[in-house]
A and B are shown apart, each in its own frame.
Chain A
Amino acid sequence: MEFLDPPFMQRALLAAVLVGVIAPAVGIYLVQRRQALMGDGIGHIAMTGVGLGFLLSTSPVWMATAVAVAGAVVMELIRWYGRTRGDIALAMLFYGGMAGGVLLINLSDTGSNANLTSYLFGSLSTVSSEDVTAISVLAAFVLLVTVGLRRQLFAVSQDEEFARVTGLPVRLLNLLVAVTAAVTVTVAMRVVGLLLVSALMVVPVAAAQQITRSFKVTFVLSVVIGVGVTLSGTITSYYQDVPPGATIVLLAIGVFVALTVLAAPLARRRARRGETETERCTLEVPAARPAPDDVRV
Chain B
Amino acid sequence: MPEPQNPDREPVIVVRDATATLGARPVLRGIDLTVRRGEVVALLGANGSGKSTAVRSVIGQVPLTGGTVELFGTPLRRFRHWARVGYVPQRTTAAGGVPATIREVVSAGRLSRTRLGIPRKADRAAVDRAIELVGLADRAKDSVNALSGGQHQRVLIARALAAEPELLIMDEPMAGVDLASQEILAATLREQVAGGATVLLVLHELGPLEPLIDRAVVLRDGCVLHDGPPPEAVGQHALPGHDHVHPHAASEPVRTGLLS
Contacts and interface: CB of A to CB of B under 8 A. Distances in A.
Interface in B64-93: 80, 82-83, 85, 87, 89, 91
B258 A166 contact: no
A206 B111 contact: no
A158 B105 contact: yes
B260 interface: yes
Given A32-B98, A33-B97, A155 B143 contact: no
Interface stretch (A6-14, A119-127, A181-189, A213-221): A213-221
B221 interface: no
A31 interface: yes
Interface in A205-233: 205-206, 209-210, 212-216, 218
B107 A214 contact: no
A166 B259 contact: no
Interface in A104-158: 149, 151-152, 154-155, 157-158
A260 B97 CA distance: 16
B95 to A, nearest CB: 8
Contacts of A166: 82-83, 87, 108-109, 111-112, 163
A157 B96 contact: yes
Nearest to B138: A277
A71 to B, nearest CB: 21
A175 B196 CA distance: 39
A163 B108 contact: yes
A167 B223 CA distance: 29
A165 B87 contact: yes
Nearest to B98: A32
A217 to B, nearest CB: 8
Contacts of B98: 28, 31-32, 205, 209, 215, 218
Contacts of B253: 34
Interface string A20-57: 00000000100111101100000000000000000000
A162 interface: yes
A32 B145 CA distance: 13
A171 interface: no
A152 B112 CA distance: 10
Contacts of A34: 96-97, 253, 260
| Size category, A interface | 35 or more
B194 interface: no
Contacts, number: 109
Nearest to B86: A165
Nearest to B116: A152
Chain A, interface SS category: helix
Contacts of A205: 98
Contact of B82 (A149, A167, A212): A167
Given A158-B96, A214-B101, A165 B61 contact: yes
Contacts of B59: 165
B26 to A, nearest CB: 19
A222 B183 CA distance: 39
Contact of B97 (A31, A152, A155, A168): A31
Given A32-B96, A159-B91, A151 B107 contact: yes
B211 interface: no
A164 interface: yes
B215 interface: no
B153 to A, nearest CB: 13
Given A154-B108, A162-B89, A162-B108, A206 B258 contact: yes
B119 to A, nearest CB: 8
B99 A215 contact: yes
A149 B111 CA distance: 11
Contacts of A162: 87, 89, 108-109, 159
Nearest to A271: B146
A159 B159 CA distance: 11
Nearest to A202: B258
Contacts of A157: 96-97
Interface in B95-142: 96-101, 104-105, 107-109, 111-112, 114-116, 119, 141-142
Contacts of A218: 98-99
Contacts of B114: 151
A241 interface: no
Most buried by B among A157, A159, A203, A205: A159
Contacts of A152: 111, 116
A206 B260 CA distance: 11
A87 interface: no
A157 B104 CA distance: 13
B96 A159 contact: yes
Nearest to B61: A161
Nearest to A84: B23
A36 B61 contact: no
21 contacts: A31-B98, A151-B111, A151-B114, A151-B119, A154-B100, A154-B108, A157-B97, A158-B100, A159-B94, A162-B89, A163-B111, A166-B83, A166-B163, A202-B258, A210-B257, A212-B143, A213-B141, A213-B145, A214-B101, A214-B143, A216-B104
The 10 closest A-B pairs by CB, nearest first: A167-B82, A155-B108, A213-B143, A166-B112, A165-B87, A32-B98, A158-B96, A215-B100, A214-B101, A32-B97
